[in-house]
Amino acid sequence: MSHISVLPEEVLFFLRPKICTVMADATLGMGGHTELFLQENPNLTIFACDQDPFAREIAEERLKKWRENITIFPENFEYFPKRLSEKGIYADGILFDIGVSSLHFDDAMRGFSCKNDGPLDMRMNPSQDFTAETVVNYFSEEEISRILWEFGEERFARRIAKAIVQRRKQSLFSSTTDLANCIALAKPKLKEYGGGHPSAQSFQAIRIVVNRELEVLQTALSGALQCLAPGGRLAVIAFHSLEDRIVKHVFSEHSLHQKCQKYPSSASVSAQKTISQEKFRVITKKPVTPSVQEIFANPRARSARLRVIERELY
pLDDT above 70 covers what percent of the chain?
A: 88
Indicate the range of 14-18, 204-208, 243-247, 299-303 predicted with least confidence. Answer: 299-303
Residues 182 and 130 in one domain: yes
Q: Averaged over 140-150, what is the pLDDT?
A: 98
Residue 40's pLDDT is what? 97
Indicate the range of 38-47, 93-102, 160-169, 240-249 predicted with least confidence. Answer: 93-102
Residues 229 and 200 in one domain: no
Q: Averaged over 43-70, what is the pLDDT?
A: 95
Residues 113 and 206 in one domain: yes
Tally of domains within the chain: 2
241-283: pLDDT as tens digits = 999 999 999 999 998 644 443 434 443 333 333 333 568 999 9
Phi, psi (5° rounding) for residue 310?
-125, 140
pTM, two decimals, is 0.87
Cα–Cα distance list, 4 to 60, 101, 294 (Å)? 16, 9, 10
**Can you give the residue range of the structural domain that contains 294?**
8-97+214-311
Residues 82 and 122 in one domain: no
Residues 134 and 51 in one domain: no
Residues 247 and 166 in one domain: no
Residue 271's pLDDT is what? 36
Q: Averaged over 138-151, what is the pLDDT?
A: 98
Give the closest residue to 240 by CA, choosing from 293, 191, 200: 200
Q: Is the pLDDT of residue 1 over 70?
A: no
